[in-house]
Chain A
């Protein structure tokens, strides 16, 4: 069990460029969550999927951020026209009814 895999571990983008972050959940887990972590705001919920369907995206910024889960083996978080304030660690977690959530190591995004 390799755990939740997030790629890339680090990403540097220029202001205005697009960034795509990947998450591979643990096989068999039906739920996938995305969180953002910054020093100032702490851990913020962004969105989550259950059985690949979007369930709650209440934490997603309305513009520029989107998330998808095209199949049960991966989810993506896309940020268009990145801004310096998007710099953060983006954490993905997966879980199921009969198991605890497992977090990945995160993607550290730096927008310069």
Chain B
């Protein structure tokens, strides 16, 4: 597609519920990143994929967070047993090259509110 597409745009979850957030990167982009952005803050790195391989998951805040990209294109970020502190905008970004030197293209994000 022309850009990075994320769905849903908004998600309200009850505390304890599991959620799945989808990212459709630009076709052919090798690198895919997930970021978490709390209100009034800059995005914080969660995890990185190069094709289907998850090369870095050091930013995932707990074992309730899980990401996958099984065929090297679409990625899903899953959060189990959501907590209020998980409320944030989740951003996906992709890059054509592994080194990201031409910059990253971000999606519009999924705003997750845990009530």
Q: Do A and B come from one complex?
A: no
